[in-house]
Amino acid sequence: MLLTFEVIAESLRERIRSGGLKPGDALSTQAVLMAEFGASSLSVQKAMALLKRDGYAISRPGKGTFVAQPDIDIDTDEDPGSSDVGSVPVGGTAARVEALELALAQTVEQLTGLRARVEALEAGFTR
């Protein structure tokens, strides 16, 4: 059984794969997705993080989250303009870098919290 954030992410992935959402299209806002799926803000945030991690979406600060452009493999004979959305892997390098930056920022935040806890414990032992 899928968790709520996985259901949201898979639903949006399917919309992208089917062409219902095209590269460059804005994804629904957090509030809209919360209402549509009856989900919490945390579930929607996790779903968006998955989409970004997997290269389906990219954030543009101050503008929102958008469907990522598909990677174009220059070694293939395919015409980029005729690519079928369902068969082309979605997500550019920028989306992957953004997802990695987000993961790194979260890790740094966790490390900072742990460091503060260790320092507080050490301060308690020296008194």
Rounded CA-CA distance 124/50 in Å is 40
- Give the CATH number, domain containing residue 101: 1.10.10.10
Q: Which residues pair with residue 90 across a beta bridge?
A: 70
Number of structural domains found in the chain: 1
The residue segments making up the domain with residue 11 are: 4-125
Residue-level pLDDT, tens digit, the chain, 127 residues: 889 999 999 999 999 999 999 999 999 999 999 999 999 999 999 999 999 998 899 988 888 999 998 764 333 344 444 444 443 344 566 667 777 777 787 788 888 889 989 988 888 876 5
Helix, coil or strand: residue 86? coil
**H-helix or E-strand spanning residue 116:** helix 93-125
